[in-house]
Structure 1
Amino acid sequence: MATFNVLDYGAVSGGHIDNALAFLDAWNATCSSEAENSTLIIPRRRFLVNPTTFNGPCKAQSINFVILGRLLAPKSPEAWKDLDPGQWLAFHGVNGLKVAGPGTINGRGKRWWNQSCRYHPKLEGCTSRAPTALKVLSCKKSCLRDIHFINSSQAHVLIEGCDGIKIENLMIEAPGNSPNTDGIHIQSSQNVIINNTIIGSGDDCISIGDHISNIAISYIKCGPGHGISIGSLGKSGNVVHVENIHVSKVTLQGTTNGARIKTWQVGRGSVRGVRFEDFFLESVKNPIIIDQNYCEVRGACEELPTGVHISDVSFKNFYGTSSTNIAINLNCSHSVPCTGIFLKSVYLRSAIVGQNVTSSCRNAYGIASGLVRPSPCIQF
C-alpha cells in the first residue's frame, strides 16, 4: 500500500493559509500511484482549504482519503469569486473511494447564511446558492464514514450520479434556523446505504431526489431538521422515477416532518415501492405526510391534470407524539391519486396534554391494519 501525507506536499496547518494546491498535489500522487491500494492522509491538525475538486479515474483499485484533522472552509464567500458557489469539496469520477475520519469538515457557513435570499429576501446581493460541504459525484463502489460535519453553508453531503455508495457513522450538525442545510441529499443514484448517523440541521436530515432506486436507510437520529423526505419532485414538469426506498429505525425529535413525500403538480412519472418503518417521533409537526399538490403558492394550488403517481407506500410501526392536530396528512391529487397506501401499527398522540390528533386524507387509497391511531381516513 502506498501512503501520501499532505504535509509532504507543502500543506501548512493552523487554519490561516490555503492548502488547496498542496492537497491537490497529494491527491494527484495518490490517484496516479501504481499501488493496488493508495492512501492520502490529512494529519491531526487544522487546514484551511479553498474550493477543490479531487478528480478520477485513479489507477489504484482502492483509494483511501483519511481525514484525521480538521478541514476548514474559507470564512468569506469572496473565496468563491469566479468559482461554482454551490461547491466546496468534491470527489468526481473516483471508483473504490473510501473517505474516512475521525476528523472534522467545518463549512463555517455563517456568512453565507447571513446573506441567504431565503432568510434575507430584501438584502441587496443576497445569494440563493451556497456551497455544499462535500459532493460525491459519479463515483462507484465507494464509502463515507466516521466524519463529523459542522455548519455547512448549504447541504452537508450530496451523492449524485453514483452507484454503490455506503455512508455510516456520520455526525452532522448545524443550527435549526440555518437555511437549506440538509444533512444528506441523494440525487440520480442507486444502491445507496446510509446507517448509524446522527443529523441535526436547518432542513431535511436526509432528502431523496429524482432518478433514485434501491436506497436503504436505517438507525438514524434526526433533530432539529425537517425529517426524512422524498422530494420535492417534478418541479419543472419532468418525468420522475423513484423506487425501492426502505427507511427504518429512525428517531426524530422536534422536527418539522417525520416521513414525507412531496411532489409538484406539474410533475409526471412515479414514486413506488417505499417502506417507512420503525419510527419513534417526539413532538413532530407532521409525523406522516404525503403532499402531491406542491405549487408556487402553497395552499392555493389549482387542480391540474398532471401529477406524479405515488403508489405502494407503507408506514409501519410509528410511535410517538405530534405537535400539531393533524398527525397523518395524505394530500393526494384528484387527477393522479395515491394508491396502495398501507398503514400498520401506527400510534400517534398529541404532544400537548389533553388534546387529540386526527387524520386528513384526500384522494388516498389503500388499507390499514392493526392498531392505527388516529383513525385512518384512507379510502379502501
Structure 2
Amino acid sequence: MAPSNVAMTVVAAAVALLLLAPARATKAPETAYTLPAGGPPSVPAGPLDIVQLGAKGDGKTDSTQAILKAWKNACDATGTQKIVIPPGNYLTGAMELKGPCKSSIIIRLDGNLLGTGDLSAYKKNWIEVQNVENFAINGHGTLDGQGPLVWKQNECQKSYNCKILPNSLVLDFVKNAQIRGITLLNSKFFHMNIFASENVLVDKVTITAPGNSPNTDGIHVGDSTNVTISGATIGTGDDCVSIGPGSKTIRIHGVRCGPGHGISVGSLGRYKDEKDVEDVKVTDCTLVGTSNGLRIKSYEDSKSSPKATKFLYEGVTMDNVSFPIIIDQKYCPNNICVKSGASKVAVSDVIFRNIHGTSNTPEAITLNCANNLPCQGVQLVNVDIKYNKSNNKTMAVCKNAAGKSIGLAKELACL
C-alpha cells in the first residue's frame, strides 16, 4: 500500500503498451514503465467486455460481478488482455482485482463507474488492485466515487482514530503500472492511493472534488519506488499530491493543482517504524489558489524517526497561493497532538529553485524547523514570490534552518 521480474527489452515493453494507450500519451518519463508483450494472447475463459457479462450502463443496476468476472477471465489468460468498459454508467460496490495474474492486463475505461453510496458494500476500498504485475488503465471514462453521499460521515478532522471511508482507486503491491487519461471524481476519501508499489506512471489524469470536501487527496504515494505523476490536473479538498513515508524516486511534473492543500510530503512521524522519504523532484508545476504550496510536514509528537532528504522543487508557478513554501516540523492539525517541540524527523538537502508568482498571505516562505533537530542543507535559489494585497510586505519566517539564499529579494533571503 513482489512478484517476479520480467525479462525483456524496454523497446518491446513500450510497443506493447502504446498499441493500446490513448493517442495523447506524452513522452516517456525519466523512469521506464514496462508492460511486456508476453507473446500472443491466449483465449480468455470468457468475454472481457463487461456488457457481454451482464453489466448495464443505466446507473442503477449493480455491475460489480460482471467486472470481477472480466478480471478473472483476463487474469487466468496469458499474453496481454484488454478488459473493455464501454460508454455508460455502471454502478458497483467494492472490487478487489487480485493477482498474481498470468497475463498483462489493460482496462479500457470509456464508460463511467459509480461507487455506491451504501458503505456496507465496502470492506475497505472501492477499486483495489492487488499483487499485480504489468497493469494499465486508460481511456476517457470516469471513476465517480459519489462522495457527496457520505462525506458528512467523515470524522477524521476530529479524531486520530476515525473510521476511514473508502478510497477510490488503490494500487497495492503492484509492479509496472500505467494510469492514463481517465478522470477520478468526488472520491469518498483519497482518489488514488499507491502503496508498496514499483514503477508506476500516472499520466494526464483529471482529479476533481469540491475544495471543501474532506480528505479527498488527489494522489497519495506511500512505501513506493519509481512513481511518476505527469500532466495531471488536480483540484480537491485536500492535498493534490501527498507523499508518505517509505517513498523513493518520486517525480511530479507538469501538474496543475487547485483548489486543494498543495503538493505535500507527509505528514511524517505519525506512526511507529516509518521509513525514509528520499529523492523527490517536483518540476514545472502550477498551483492556483491552494491553501498551501510546496510543503514538507512532520508531527511535533512524532512516533518514529524517518529521514526526509534529497528534494528538488524547480520551475513552479504560484498563483494566489497561501503559504507557498513550507517546511513544518511542528505540524499539529486541530491541536490533536502533544506539543512537545522535540521532533524526531530529520529534514535535509531541500532545494527550492526558480519558484515565482503570488502569495495570498504575507508569509511567502515558512521554515519552521525543530529546535532539537534543525533543517539542514536548505537552498532558496531565485525565489520570487510577491504578496498580492496592499498594506503588507512579503516576508520569510525561518526558524532553525541552515542553508543558503541565492538571488532573492532581501525580505525573502532568510538563510
For the superposition of Structure 1 and Structure 2, which TM-score range results when normalised by the shorter chain? Answer: over 0.9
Cα separation, 1, equivalents of 2:129 and 2:410: 46
The letter of the residue matching 1:174 is A
1:29 aligns with 2:73: yes
Bigger CA drift: 290-299 or 317-326? Answer: 290-299
Answer whether contact 1:58 1:95 (CA < 8 A) is retained.
yes
Answer whether contact 2:394 2:412 (CA < 8 A) is retained.
no
With the length of structure 1 as denominator, give the TM-score of the two structures. 0.92
Answer whether contact 2:268 2:306 (CA < 8 A) is retained.
no
> Which runs of structure 2 are paired with 1:57-206 in the superposition (5 Å)?
57-60=100-103, 62-80=104-122, 83-84=123-124, 87-118=125-156, 128-206=163-241
The letter of the residue matching 1:66 is R
Change (3 A) 1:127 1:239: closer
Bigger CA drift: 126-135 or 259-268? Answer: 126-135
Deviations 1:98-127 (A, max 9, x none): 1112111100001221222146x69xxx96
1:242 aligns with 2:242: no
**Cα drift, residue 4 of structure 1:** 1.6
1:261 to 290, 293, 296: 296
Change (3 A) 1:77 1:94: same
1:369 aligns with 2:406: yes
1:6 to 50, 74, 91: 50
**Cα drift, residue 364 of structure 1:** 0.2
**Cα drift, residue 79 of structure 1:** 3.0
Which residue number in structure 1 is paired with residue 87 of structure 2?
44
**Cα drift, residue 75 of structure 1:** 2.5
The 3-state SS of whatever aligns with 1:307 is coil
Cα separation, 1, equivalents of 2:197 and 2:322: 33
The letter of the residue matching 1:92 is Q
Cα separation, 2, equivalents of 1:101 and 1:238: 39
Answer whether contact 2:365 2:412 (CA < 8 A) is retained.
no
**Cα drift, residue 153 of structure 1:** 0.6
2:329 to 272, 277, 292: 292
Q: Which runs of 4+ in 1 moved over 4 A?
A: none
Cα separation, 2, equivalents of 1:341 and 1:372: 17
Cα separation, 2, equivalents of 1:190 and 1:295: 28
**Cα drift, residue 158 of structure 1:** 0.5
**Cα drift, residue 373 of structure 1:** 6.0
With the length of structure 2 as denominator, give the TM-score of the two structures. 0.85
Which residue number in structure 1 is paired with residue 320 of structure 2?
283
The letter of the residue matching 2:140 is P
Answer whether contact 1:135 1:158 (CA < 8 A) is retained.
yes
**Cα drift, residue 236 of structure 1:** 2.5
> Which runs of structure 2 are paired with 1:200-215 in the superposition (5 Å)?
200-215=235-250
Cα separation, 1, equivalents of 2:344 and 2:62: 48
Cα separation, 2, equivalents of 1:77 and 1:351: 44
Cα separation, 2, equivalents of 1:372 and 1:52: 53
Answer whether contact 2:217 2:238 (CA < 8 A) is retained.
yes
1:338 to 375, 381, 387: 375
Cα separation, 2, equivalents of 1:277 and 1:373: 21
**Cα drift, residue 17 of structure 1:** 1.3
**Cα drift, residue 12 of structure 1:** 1.9
Cα separation, 2, equivalents of 1:79 and 1:92: 19
Answer whether contact 1:344 1:372 (CA < 8 A) is retained.
no
Which residue number in structure 1 is paired with residue 341 of structure 2?
303
Change (3 A) 1:299 1:50: closer
**Cα drift, residue 355 of structure 1:** 2.5
Answer whether contact 1:341 1:364 (CA < 8 A) is retained.
yes
The letter of the residue matching 1:48 is L
Change (3 A) 1:160 1:354: same
Answer whether contact 1:347 1:374 (CA < 8 A) is retained.
no
**Cα drift, residue 288 of structure 1:** 0.3
Deviations 1:219-266 (A, max 9, x none): 000000000000000112434400000001111111011100001232
Unaligned runs of 5+ in 2: 1-40
Unaligned runs of 5+ in 1: none
The 3-state SS of whatever aligns with 2:255 is strand
Which residue number in structure 2 is paired with residue 350 of structure 1?
387
**Cα drift, residue 186 of structure 1:** 0.2
**Cα drift, residue 323 of structure 1:** 1.0
Answer whether contact 1:155 1:184 (CA < 8 A) is retained.
yes
Which residue number in structure 1 is paired with residue 14 of structure 2?
none
Q: CA RMSD in A?
A: 1.9
The 3-state SS of whatever aligns with 1:114 is helix
Deviations 1:302-323 (A, max 9, x none): 322x421100000011111111
Cα separation, 1, equivalents of 2:411 and 2:87: 52
Cα separation, 1, equivalents of 2:411 and 2:61: 57
**Cα drift, residue 190 of structure 1:** 0.3
Answer whether contact 1:167 1:193 (CA < 8 A) is retained.
yes
**Cα drift, residue 354 of structure 1:** 4.2
The 3-state SS of whatever aligns with 1:16 is strand
Answer whether contact 1:348 1:374 (CA < 8 A) is retained.
no
